[in-house]
Structure 1
Amino acid sequence: MATILLASIPLSFLLAFSSPILVLLRQVPEISMAAQSYTRWMIPSLLPFGLLQCHFKFLQAQNIVFPILFSSGATALFHCLFCWVLVHKSGLGFRGAALSVSASSWVNLLQIVIYVNFSSSCKATWAGFSREALHGLGEFLKLAVPSTVMICLQAWQFELLMLLSGLLPNPKLQTSVMSITQNTCALVYMIPYGISAAISTRVSNELGAANPKAAKLAIFVAASTIIAEGLVTGSTLIVARNLWGHAYSSDRIIVKAVASMMPWIALSHCIDGLQCVLQGTVRGCGRQKIGACLCLGSYYVVGIPASVLLGFVFHIGRKGLWIGNICAIFVQDLMLLIITILTNWEKQVAMARERVQSSVIPSNSA
């Protein structure tokens, strides 16, 4: 939580003055100013979102998941109402949408904080704030930094696709369609993302319990589940391709353009799910450095160059940009799968034991 608090400060400045950066990247000034206006209203959500992730992981590590489900569900209901009021009734427009996200993040955090502090389930694991929290900070950062880099490299690649779409002819149309495409992808991504968090926790717990067979079984179950989910969700996206765009826009051109992108979204979702499971496995093993290197190579050595080549050289446009993204996901899937198959799980158990022992607070400092 202390690390996230410090990281939120420079991130706030980046959000507050994002327009000059976007203009420098050759984006349309009008769109850049609107984006800056939106992100400034998103600044209050930075801290609660980060703290919320800390609480989520704290509870997930103990297999306490229902409080997270209930608080997230209650927050979603609150957000729907609050977003509608702020967007349509307050006159804030898209700024109201950003403000509603910030408010919802604080509401969700408040619920989880109350649960952690007053629930009997956390009495044995949460004893309040202490200087002892700084013990093992170096070991924590060794995992945290490459894990952050791994996730950021993947997320930033999507943002680069958005920036590249702004360089195509008719940038307002292209960025609108790419925005809907990415929002759709993010929406269905929450399913494999949840399974990724679960398999990460499960693998780390089983390795810590010296049970490598259970860890391998968990990976197999997660992979089988996510493949089935990908086929069902991908098929649904294709069937509903002519209707989906209406949820975002009444412009027929945009709706038609979104429909043409849906099969590619479906394909990327099918293969991205396996990537989530394998990335969760990597994190559960404490091998974040390997994951970060694979993200860097697959997205920035393969994905972005392929997107530029297909989108601008071969003039396939936004479809070319997204196909480049699919190429990156496929390469990462292949590399992560090879690493997982070749993993020595008994060795991972020994390494997990070493990490636990190194993080134990010495008795003379208690």
Structure 2
Amino acid sequence: MSSTPLSRSHTHICDTIMAPTDHPHSPKQPSMKQIVEEAKQLKEIFIPLTTMHLITYLRSMTSVLCMGKLGSLELAGGALAIGFTNITGYSLLSGLTLGMEPICSQAFGSQNLNLVHLTLRRTILLLLFTSLPVSLLWLNLQPILVFFRQDPSITKMASLYSVFALPDLIINSFLHPLRIYLRCRGNTAPLMWSTTIAVIFHVPLTFLLAFVLKLGIPGIAIASCCTNLNTLIFLLMYMLYTGSCPPTGCKQDLISKGDNNGHWITLLRLALPSCVGVCLEWWWYEFMTLSAGYLPDPHVTVAVAAIVIQTTSLLYAFPVALSASVSTRVGTELGSRKPSQAHLAALVAMVLAFGISLVGLVWTIVGRRLWGQAFSTDEEILKLTMQVLPVIGLCELGNCPQTTGCGVLRGSARPNTGARINLISFYLVGSPIALIMAFTFQFGFLGLCYGLLGAQIAAALMAFTVIWNTNWEEEALKAKLLVGTDACENRDDTSKADTDFSKEDHTEV
């Protein structure tokens, strides 16, 4: 890691910033009271976010069940469309949005609200711009899939879904940034309630459009768009009512000239690796599903792969909520120039992650038969599911700490490190193990799961190593470079800070 920009400014920073609350050269062991207090602060963010993700999971399950009720062709086409839209669209928007997370959390910590509002607007603009090429892909889904020799009837059904899901790109371009904006403010309860109310309407709305009005697959796609739109409307209503909407005007423009383009450079340098990190992990599960189709008895292995995806999606609600919680806490404390408190938040979150992973392991072992029967009564599918689920539970021992660790890295503005961890663990460790175990040693689908286990363990070890070796005082100084100056009141200093930060190779792997 090149440390030249930081070294040049280190003396200047130490002279100009106020002394941190916790002196970097005299670290103290946290008391039990401090640990409990930090756990409580994480809980305040974690519980609403977990509820929100679980409710979103139920919404997805409702859509899939309705596709199944329409018929096998609709289910196959809808599942294909969901996979395609996830890979080419939703994963990109979700990943790019994470670029604003370290800026906003650290800026809230340093009370640089102008930078927060500027980052929010620019992230929305970035997502809207990204939606344009994604829309072209979705509009041309049918010829693309036909080129890859997919079944024409299934492809036609998938194309219908993707065309009617196009408005969701615009809706998510606003919804994703607003969620992170409110979370960084500490307002997570509105996220939970807006999602809950919208999903309550989702079930009758889907039934109305798909079955009563007989719109079929397009009706399910429209219902999903309407549910996200309702969530967005509820959030905006809350923000207007509480006065938490960002101001509509700032002295800086969204697209500014001269040195202020450093803001855009900084945002992109955080957003792009964040997006890569999300996509690398997301796409590996699609690779797992595709590989299952080349195994013996593909109708069994692909069905079990679908059950595994649903299982991991459910379990993922907990680590992703904890990851978001610790990212907010670490970013806020670094922005407030409290490196020891950021360190404590990271350690408490990692311990909680291990505890959550143990619960997931026990659940996949004890409830594997009942969970498998919820999806299929076929004896072959059920037998393989019962063999696989304990391995998936073991994967959680790595997945939860790894996902939480990536949240720590995001909060400290090190998305490059998270992306490299995912690249190494999933594609240089997990993929070879999966292919060798599944096809060379004839372990079948269980071998693919062993590859996932190897990837998650490697990712967790690397994330823990990076966090353990983090110099938190140095991260607090970097936070000063990133967000330490008001974005509208002092342009010259902010531009210089952003330019210095954008030159920094902000990685540790």
With structure 2 as the length reference, what TM-score do the two structures score?
0.66
Change (3 A) 1:69 1:211: same
- Who is 1:225 aligned against? 352
Supply the distance in 2 between the matched residues of 1:349 and 1:213 (Cα, whole angstroms): 10
- Matching residue within 86, 97, 101 for 2:224: 101
Q: SS in structure 2 opposite 1:3? A: helix
The one-character-per-residue Cα deviations of 1:233-260 (angstroms, maximum 9, x if unpaired) are 3212222211213333454443443333
| Range moving further from structure 2, 189-198 or 289-298 | 289-298
Moved more, 155-164 or 44-53: 44-53
Match in the other structure for 1:77: 200
Out of 401, 414, 417, the position equivalent to 1:287 is 414
* 1-structure distance, mates of 2:436, 2:147: 22
The corresponding residue for 1:150 is 277
Which residue does 1:263 correspond to in 2?
A: 390
Deviation by residue 1:64-114 (Cα, 9 ceiling, x = unmatched): 111111111112222233334445545455554433322211111111122
Instruction: Give runs of aligned pairs for residues 80-229 of structure 1, distance below 5 A.
Output: 80-93=203-216, 95-120=218-243, 122=244, 126-128=246-248, 132-134=253-255, 135=260, 136-229=263-356
Q: Distance in 2 between matches of 1:105 and 1:224?
A: 34
Query: Which residue matches 1:235?
Result: 362
The answer to whether the 8 Å contact 1:282/1:291 transfers is yes
Unaligned runs of at least 5 residues, structure 1: none
Letter of the 2:328 partner, please give it.
T
Pairing partner for 1:275 from 402, 408, 423: 402
CA separation of 1:249/1:37 partners in 2, compared to 1, >3 Å: closer, same or farther?
Answer: farther
Shift of 1:170: 3.7
The answer as to whether partners of 2:160 and 2:217 remain within 8 angstroms in 1 is no
Distance of 1:260 and 1:97 partners within structure 2:
33
Q: Residue 40 of structure 1: CA displacement?
A: 3.6
Superposed CA offset, 1:100-146 (max 9, x none): 322211111111122223322x15xx102666334511211111111
Q: Which residue of 2 aligns with 1:332?
A: 459
Gap change, CA 1:335 and 1:20, over 3 Å in 2: farther
Q: What CA distance in whole angstroms lies between the structure 2 residues aligned with 1:78 and 1:54?
A: 23
Structure 1 equivalent of residue 168 of structure 2: 45
Match of 1:67 among 179, 186, 190: 190
One-letter amino acid of the counterpart of residue 191, structure 2: I
Q: How does 1:281-360 map to 2 (within 5 A)?
A: 281-357=408-484, 360=487
Q: What's the CA shift string for 1:325-359, capped at 9, x where partnerless?
A: 11111111111111110110000000001001467
Q: SS of the residue aligned with 1:238?
A: helix
User: Is this contact kept in 1: 2:397–2:457, CA < 8 A?
Assistant: no
| Residue aligning to 1:5 | 128
The amino acid of 1:244's aligned partner reads W
Say which is worse superposed, 273-282 or 172-181, in terms of deviation: 172-181
Deviates more, 1:177-186 or 1:198-207: 177-186
| Distance across 2 between alignment mates of 1:129 and 1:311 | 57
Distance in 1 (alpha carbons) for counterparts of 2:440 and 2:155? 26
Q: CA deviation at 1:204?
A: 0.5
| 1:14 is aligned to 2:137 | yes
- Secondary structure of the 2:185 match is coil
3-state SS of 1:55 partner: helix
Cα offset, 1:49, TM superposition: 2.4
CA contact (8 A) 2:338 2:476 kept: yes
Q: Which has the larger radius of gyration?
A: 2
Q: TM-score, normalised by structure 1?
A: 0.90
Question: For structure 1, which segment, 24-33 or 201-210, has the greater mean C-alpha deviation from structure 2 after superposition?
Answer: 24-33
- Contact 2:165–2:225 under 8 Å retained in 1: yes
Instruction: Work out the CA distance in 2 between the residues paired with 1:40 and 1:324.
Output: 35
Which moved further from structure 2: 12-21 or 134-143? 12-21
- For residues 147-167 of structure 1, the C-alpha deviation after alignment (integer angstroms, 9 at most, x for no partner) is 111111111111111222222
* Alignment check: 8 A CA contact 2:425 2:458 kept: yes
Contact 1:173 1:254 in 2 (8 A): yes
Report the Cα distance in structure 2 between the residues aligned to 1:94 and 1:245, rounded to whole angstroms: 26
Could you tell me how far apart the structure 2 residues matched to 1:194 and 1:97 are? 27
Whole-angstrom distance in 2 between the partners of 1:225 and 1:210: 24
Q: How many angstroms apart in 2 are the aligned matches of 1:169 and 1:23? A: 24
| Cα gap change, 1:103 to 1:248, in 2 (>3 Å) | farther
Deviations 1:284-339 (A, max 9, x none): 11011111112111111111222222222222222211221111111111111111
Secondary structure at the aligned position of 1:127 is classed as coil
- Summarize the Cα distance change of 1:197–1:253 in structure 2 as closer, same or farther, 3 Å threshold: same
Task: Letter of the 1:146 partner, please give it.
Answer: P
Shift in alpha-carbon separation, 1:84–1:233, aligned structure 2, 3 A: farther
For the 8 Å contact 1:285–1:348, the answer to whether it is kept is yes
Q: 1:184: how far off?
A: 1.6
Query: Is contact 1:244–1:259 with CA below 8 Å preserved after alignment?
Result: no
**Offset of 1:169 from its aligned partner?**
3.1
